[in-house]
Amino acid sequence: MNQQHTSRPLTGKTAIVTGASRGIGAAIALRLAQLGANVTIDYLSNNERAQQTAQRIEHDAAAQGRIIVCKADVTDLNQVNELTQTTANTFGGIDILVNNALNRYSFDPRNRSTFDNTGWNDYATQLEGCLKGTYNTCTATLPYMRRQSWGRIVNISSNLVDSPIVPYHDYIAAKGALIGLTRSLAQEAGAWGITVNAIAAGLTVGTDSSRATTEDIREHIIEQTPLGRLATADDVAGGVAMLVGEDARFITGQTLHVDGGLTMR
């Protein structure tokens, strides 16, 4: 890694990014490393891809932070505890948590499940990956943040919660529950010097989950978006970078829509 001597805003901070082997998670890990943070890349199954992501970050000329890769299923609290312990042992603490992991989902408007044929197991699967995963990671990392009276938690949700252009019922329900948890945890964690916010990402090009989205839906979203394009993983990473930075120290319990103005509130 190209080591530079100029200080960055997150120098000395340590971040865990879940589901960071590819797509949005990988872009967030890169951005935090460029800002000086040490980063743990969490992944579920594809070690080769996670290692490749780590190598790309380590060879990025702007990245200063150190990178480690950890395999952990966020729905398993024991694995999450191992993830946090490894991170703390390696870097000396945990300052930032980005909850990006979710159970696999394909955004295919033509083959989506209607409400009538979406079973409770479908909802439970999405809630398990999104809500339980976030519950586990927060449970494991909050003690580190409380001890130092400083922490940043960012949960990756979706703008579909506010604008369900295509009603992916189980996915939207889970992402909506995540926003509820964001707000309730922010209310309590503020006393500990910890902020908790969410990113409501728009349809993001180049991600595995977005590939099944039909061209007509893409064009419809672009036409309705003031900035005239779809989101990129780097756009979402920029939102995360803002929320974990010192300039956002008095922002908590909020949902930042990163969708080019498609959702305005």
pLDDT per residue as tens digits for the range 113-141: 899 999 999 999 999 999 999 999 999 99
pLDDT of 131: 96
The whole-angstrom separation of Cα 173 and Cα 109 is: 17
The answer to whether residue 3 scores a pLDDT higher than 60 is no
Q: What's 238's DSSP letter?
A: H
Q: Which structural domain, as residue segments, surrounds residue 174?
A: 14-258
In a domain, 265, yes or no: no
Residue type, 146: R
Q: Give the sheet arrangement for strand 255-258, strand by strand.
A: 67-71, 38-43, 14-17, 96-99, 151-158, 194-201, 255-258
Q: What's 246's DSSP letter?
A: G
40 SS3 class = strand
In a domain, 31, yes or no: yes
CATH of the domain at 21: 3.40.50.720
In a domain, 263, yes or no: no
- From residue 135, alpha-carbon distances to 20, 55, 171 in Å are 18, 29, 17
By DSSP bridging, strand 38-43 and strand 255-258 are: unpaired
How would residue 217 be classed by pLDDT, with cut points 50, 70 and 90? Answer: confident
In a domain, 115, yes or no: yes
Which residue in 43, 135, 144, 171 is the catalytic one? 171
Question: Is 171 among the catalytic positions?
Answer: yes
Provide, rounded to the nearest whole percent, the portion of the chain with pLDDT above 70.
96
The answer to whether residue 6 scores a pLDDT higher than 70 is no
- From residue 127, alpha-carbon distances to 75, 76, 191 in Å are 10, 14, 28
Nearest to 128 by CA among 105, 94, 152, 154: 105
In a domain, 9, yes or no: no
In a domain, 50, yes or no: yes
In this structure, what token pair is assigned to residue 137?
């990671």
Domains of the chain: total: 1
E strand intervals along the chain: 14-17, 38-43, 67-71, 96-99, 151-158, 194-201, 255-258
The whole-angstrom separation of Cα 220 and Cα 207 is: 19
**Mean pLDDT over each residue of the chain, to the nearest integer:** 93
In this structure, what token pair is assigned to residue 54?
């780590």
Residue type, 82: E
Interval 203-221 mean pLDDT: 80
Helix and strand totals (H; E) in the chain? 8, 7
**Burial class of residue 165 (count of CB atoms within 10 Å of its CB; 0-12, 13-18, 19+):** middle
pLDDT of 2: 45
In a domain, 221, yes or no: yes
In a domain, 2, yes or no: no
The whole-angstrom separation of Cα 143 and Cα 149 is: 10
> In this structure, how many other beta carbons lie within 10 angstroms of the beta carbon of residue 163?
17
